[in-house]
Structure 1
Amino acid sequence: MSFYTEFFLALLIRPVRALVALYWHATRRRVRARNQLRAIISRSPYVYLRWQKHIEAVGQTLAGASREMAFWHYKPRISIFLHILAETKAADVASSIASIEAQCYPEWELLIVLAPSAERPADILDQRIRCVASPASTDLECLDAVLADALGSHLLPMTPGGRLSPAALFLLLERLKDDPDASIVYGDQDEIDRAGRRQRPWFKPRWNAELFLAQDYLSSACLISLDCARSTIRPVDGVEGAAIYALLLSISALKHAKIIHLAKVIVHLPGIAVSDNQAARVAAVGRHVHAADGKASAGRFGSVKLCWPLPEKPPRVSIVIPTRDQVSLLRACIESVRRNTDYGNYEVLIVDNGSIEKKTKLYLEEVSRHPNFRILDFPGEFNFSAINNYAVAMSAGDYICLLNNDAEAFMPNWLGELMRYAIRDDVGAAGAKLLYPDGSIQHGGVVIGLGNAAGHAHRNLPDDDPGYFARAHVAHFVSAVTAACLVVSKAKFETVGGLDAEGFKVAFNDVDFCLMLERAGWRNVYVPHSVLIHHESKSRGKDDNPAKRSRYLKELDLLQTRWDTIGFHDPLHHPHLDRASETYVIHL
């Protein structure tokens, strides 16, 4: 859709915000304007209805399924599990069963476990549907009863009232053909309102182990290998209300576990209330991470917050801050670090890149008298990569924190939260959540391929807004994080050669660096519990003169060439989310 088509649609939904976006567009802040409009219209039923018609095209899928299944030589049975509670409405059970009976793939069985006092569904004539006797009513005991009684190769748990898409089982098995040894296949989902209309699609990322600890994005739409489920040791208590989640956590910890994503909407749920079983999920995650000394607690917007351990003697961190004049920004940054850092073992290296103002020099002289503060001189043209590489070579810490001089710490735990992740063997760079001064999000991880390059996820989302299924507020693996505030092991920094000072002097050096860490086998992680204010680009300015623009375009071309970002879909994003938007909106 054109900008003005989006504007007029947004004007009908949120007129004030639409007019703000029009003002931004008129004042040449067009990316921000487009993000604003798409954030508005993404919540309109019109957009999802249009996607269902033109992109999803269920009718075409069903027609193709009939033709393809005719040539299948192996048609495994799928065991579907439905746990009916005393309070479950008969209409919800009936709608779930009807959606199962409507499957275009016929080889299934439905196992119904009735809680005490729950009513047995009436008029069950299909021989593929049977009730399973269970001696008790807890989730875990009911799951065990189903695992013992199921005759299929895979288990599909269902929520009463949830409905399977007519092609759901076919699509899952078609995906499984590419990875027959998969332990779990999971798909996307949406909600249905009381009138049966679909809304709020949840387009999920590729398997993301860190995200799954914070948020259960599999249980409602997944297919589980029964052999794998039966061989997994499950907890005996403490997870009532989250038995499937606890099972999936256990499977995900197996060395041979293979978890794959089907980028199709396969389940329609009667409301996705992620906080309903939060206490049970916290208990399940706490049990899961106990051996690694991790602790789980209730997080924002129904999520689970992990607290990974720090060593008894926390390692030294060298905080590297490049600067050139702009003493007011530098002072705010330095003073915030001194006042608001409860991680005790750190040094600060301020790298002066040719400051000439007297007040700057006086301030640097003053700062140098403080313990653990050093001033390094790096004269010459501004080269962010070279400046940081030089400082790292001069640092005394085992870990490096790259920090912009236009960032301000206001939460004492900011550095410690990053270090909880950075010390892990599997983690490359750990990046903070950065907010604009108005409290909206400036950085929530980096998505590769946005704008054919890379973009900051959730930009301009108010920090008190859950946004797209709370993704901005939970820790998870990302492809990259910004060097405005990131922490990385010095050894890992040196292993990948640091920042590319020849190819990326100013722009995209952090993206390139993080992708190099990924290539070397480490995972980058976004840590929303570490929060700073970022006065973006106030010290360096914008790329708005011919020389800066020319340099930027060269760096953009190198990023696109080296990492093939043109047309690239970040696997931790989703192919049905708009690659032109830093907000998570549907692509049409």
Structure 2
Amino acid sequence: MTLVFPDHPAFDVLRFGSETPGTIATLETMASHPVKAAAILRALATGKRVRAHNLTTALVGAAPRWRCPAPAAAAAPEPHPEVAVLTPEALRRNGAGRAGIVLLTGPGHALLPGTPARVAAAFAAEPAMQALYGDAVALDRAGKALPLLRTAFDPDFLEAVDHVGPVVAFRTAALARLGGVPADRPGLEAAGLLLRLAAAEGERAVRHLPAMLSVWRPWDAPLPVASDALREARRQLAGVPSEAGPGGVLALRRPLPVRVPAVSLIVPTRDRIDLLRTCLASLTARTDWPEREILVCDNDSREPETLAYFRELERKGTARVVPCPGPFDFAAMNNRAAEQARGGLLAFVNNDVEAIHPDWLARMAEEALRPEVGAVGAKLLDGEGRIQHGGIVLGAGGLVDHAHRHFPGDAPGYLHRLRATHRVSAVTAACLVVEARKFREVGGFDAGAFAVDFNDVDLCLRLDRAGYRSLMVPGAVLHHREAASRRWTPAARQRHAAEAERLRARWGAALAADPWYSPGFDPRFGSYLRLRRPVDQAPR
């Protein structure tokens, strides 16, 4: 889907659409993989359309369909006794009168019918809520509609991409406590107010209503401010050093402490020296960090070449080998190495992962060292250069799913989520950085319940319960040849099914409603691939 929007940074948030593979390219790919193509045709012939779609996505890559019907906006905001619909300029000039709620809007934005009443009802049901935003539909020059499906409030994401404003509702009293709407950052009033409100009164004061509230027609609106001025205002709003990236996305660079902690890189393996040698060579040559150690968790390797390699690693001081005998237990192996680790930061890295750029660890560590952050994940690319991991989404694909799986490696992601650091419910332990004290505080990986699968999801959810958020950092990019050393035996499938049931039993409520993923996407498919019919939900 190709959409055309004005060339101005005010509309950068809309430039995330990616074109789908052409029919000819898809047919050529299927023709070169006849066995996989036959499985797709069998699924179609037996009426298993969702399975056929997912198999096709895995073979030819993701083909998201984000088109939706263009809704009809109200000719004028419907009057409501509790809600004043105003632009920032009108609010500064005339005030809100007696309205208890101010619904900010802007040029080119029109409310959908019923929005003021819906906003008033949401505030009445949530007395602690001080600000509320919803979803929107943007129309390009040809009238094609692009849904903007947002998530729960995420200040990290908002600082990098203004994906929320300007249609945001505030309690009038909250605006008064903030000193009103400032005039120094035109076009960013709502984003600035939300960040200040969350800093002053807590992030739960800002809520998201998963419902379409407005229509955005960029071509019908005058440009709010000169391009350079808006870009500079966005950098100032972020409040930390940043790097301007594609699509106007800011890569925020958090300051590191003067004395950074050592990092313990923990790599589990059983033989597979072909993978391990590549992994460790990349960690040694392409990791910029002043003090680090590598711990190799050896799960009964037997091949002479592997054992000789271990001796070489220890003789050169490249790595310490931690014996982890017995049946393969990914969680227990990592826990054992973590107990022996000397670093203040732990970096769990699979043996089938390869570092690409030397700054990968610094980008992850500067987030992991923030007091409020727990687990930090990276953008991982598969063997074909496509997205293998962009965070973990709860509920998608039937249980959990890697966000943006099979999208092109250079895709911006939905709302630029493959370019901007943002909050997620979980990240994969294939490349996960966490402070050692936080990891130990929650008891590490739960080897008793999740020996092999879902231990990373469980760890992140326990960290979240302890007050530590999980972040996905797209600026850290590595290769991951997923499950290259895994063999799916009948016993392995049985264990996987048992661990999936334990995950449902422990985290069923969380799996049903991921706050960092929109319910507007169909959970039967991979993440960010298909829309579903609107569902009524309370603010989150």
TM category (shorter chain) comes to 0.7 to 0.9
370 and 147 in structure 1: CA distance in 2 versus 1, 3 angstrom threshold = farther
* 1:26 corresponds to which of 22, 30, 38: 38
- Name the aligned partner's letter for residue 525 of structure 2: S
Q: 2: distance between equivalents of 1:536 and 1:450?
A: 19
- Given that 2:194 and 2:206 are in contact with CA atoms closer than 8 Å, whether structure 1 keeps it comes out as no
- 1:177-576 equivalence runs, <5 A: 177-194=124-141, 197=143, 199-232=145-178, 239-256=185-202, 258-271=205-218, 283-284=232-233, 286-288=235-237, 290=239, 294-371=240-317, 373-541=319-487, 543=488, 545-564=489-508, 568-576=512-520
- Given that 2:85 and 2:105 are in contact with CA atoms closer than 8 Å, whether structure 1 keeps it comes out as no
- Name the aligned partner's letter for residue 160 of structure 2: A
110 and 529 in structure 1: CA distance in 2 versus 1, 3 angstrom threshold = closer
Q: 1: distance between equivalents of 2:197 and 2:405?
A: 34
- Name the aligned partner's letter for residue 379 of structure 1: P
568 and 38 in structure 1: CA distance in 2 versus 1, 3 angstrom threshold = farther
Q: 2: distance between equivalents of 1:278 and 1:326?
A: 52
Asked if residue 163 in structure 1 is aligned to residue 110 in structure 2, the reply is: yes
- Given that 2:276 and 2:351 are in contact with CA atoms closer than 8 Å, whether structure 1 keeps it comes out as yes
Q: CA deviation at 1:277?
A: 7.8
411 and 275 in structure 1: CA distance in 2 versus 1, 3 angstrom threshold = farther
Deviations 1:325-380 (A, max 9, x none): 11111111011011111112110001111111111112221121233521111122
1:220 match: secondary structure = coil
1:254 match: secondary structure = helix
Asked if residue 16 in structure 1 is aligned to residue 28 in structure 2, the reply is: no
- Given that 2:158 and 2:191 are in contact with CA atoms closer than 8 Å, whether structure 1 keeps it comes out as no
User: TM-score normalised to the size of structure 2?
Assistant: 0.83
Q: 1: distance between equivalents of 2:111 and 2:238?
A: 32
Deviations 1:501-535 (A, max 9, x none): 12111111111111111111211111111110001
Q: CA deviation at 1:422?
A: 0.8
- Given that 1:446 and 1:479 are in contact with CA atoms closer than 8 Å, whether structure 2 keeps it comes out as yes
- Given that 1:282 and 1:298 are in contact with CA atoms closer than 8 Å, whether structure 2 keeps it comes out as no
Q: 1: distance between equivalents of 2:498 and 2:85?
A: 59
Deviations 1:187-219 (A, max 9, x none): 100112456x56111111111222111121221
Match of 1:83 in 2: none
- Given that 2:186 and 2:225 are in contact with CA atoms closer than 8 Å, whether structure 1 keeps it comes out as no
2:336 match: secondary structure = helix
Indicate the structure (1 or 2) with the bigger Cα radius of gyration. 1
- Given that 1:105 and 1:167 are in contact with CA atoms closer than 8 Å, whether structure 2 keeps it comes out as no
* 2:75 corresponds to which of 75, 96, 99: 99
Q: 2: distance between equivalents of 1:235 and 1:349?
A: 53
41 and 391 in structure 1: CA distance in 2 versus 1, 3 angstrom threshold = closer
Query: Please, which runs of 5 or more residues in structure 1 have no aligned partner?
Result: 1-11, 53-57, 59-95, 113-138
Q: CA deviation at 1:300?
A: 3.0
Aligned sequence identity (%): 33
Question: Between Structure 1 and Structure 2, how many residues are aligned?
Answer: 495
- Name the aligned partner's letter for residue 16 of structure 1: I
365 and 559 in structure 1: CA distance in 2 versus 1, 3 angstrom threshold = same
278 and 311 in structure 1: CA distance in 2 versus 1, 3 angstrom threshold = farther
- 1:6-85 equivalence runs, <5 A: 14-16=22-24, 18-19=26-27, 20=29, 24=36, 26-27=38-39, 31-34=54-57, 39-40=62-63, 42-43=65-66, 45=67, 48-49=68-69
Q: CA deviation at 1:243?
A: 3.2
Match of 2:14 in 1: none
1:100 match: secondary structure = coil
519 and 256 in structure 1: CA distance in 2 versus 1, 3 angstrom threshold = closer
- Given that 1:238 and 1:283 are in contact with CA atoms closer than 8 Å, whether structure 2 keeps it comes out as no
405 and 238 in structure 1: CA distance in 2 versus 1, 3 angstrom threshold = farther
- Given that 1:441 and 1:461 are in contact with CA atoms closer than 8 Å, whether structure 2 keeps it comes out as yes
Deviations 1:466-522 (A, max 9, x none): 231211221111100000000111111111111111211111111111111111121
Q: 2: distance between equivalents of 1:364 and 1:572?
A: 42
Q: 1: distance between equivalents of 2:30 and 2:125?
A: 44
39 and 143 in structure 1: CA distance in 2 versus 1, 3 angstrom threshold = farther
User: TM-score normalised to the size of structure 1?
Assistant: 0.77
Q: 1: distance between equivalents of 2:238 and 2:86?
A: 32
Match of 2:16 in 1: none
- Per mean C-alpha deviation after superposition, the further-off stretch among 444-453 and 380-389 is 444-453
Q: CA deviation at 1:17?
A: 5.5
Q: 2: distance between equivalents of 1:371 and 1:308?
A: 31
- Name the aligned partner's letter for residue 139 of structure 2: I
Instruction: With a CA cutoff of 8 Å and minimum separation of 6, indicate the structure with the bigger relative contact order.
Output: 2
Q: 1: distance between equivalents of 2:460 and 2:84?
A: 46
Q: 2: distance between equivalents of 1:570 and 1:275?
A: 34
109 and 173 in structure 1: CA distance in 2 versus 1, 3 angstrom threshold = closer
1:169 match: secondary structure = helix
165 and 37 in structure 1: CA distance in 2 versus 1, 3 angstrom threshold = farther
Q: 2: distance between equivalents of 1:439 and 1:531?
A: 11
286 and 167 in structure 1: CA distance in 2 versus 1, 3 angstrom threshold = same
Q: 1: distance between equivalents of 2:273 and 2:182?
A: 59
- Root-mean-square deviation (CA, aligned residues, Å) is 3.1
Deviations 1:438-487 (A, max 9, x none): 22110000011123321100011112222312112211111000000001
- Given that 1:559 and 1:565 are in contact with CA atoms closer than 8 Å, whether structure 2 keeps it comes out as no
Q: 1: distance between equivalents of 2:513 and 2:344?
A: 34
496 and 465 in structure 1: CA distance in 2 versus 1, 3 angstrom threshold = same
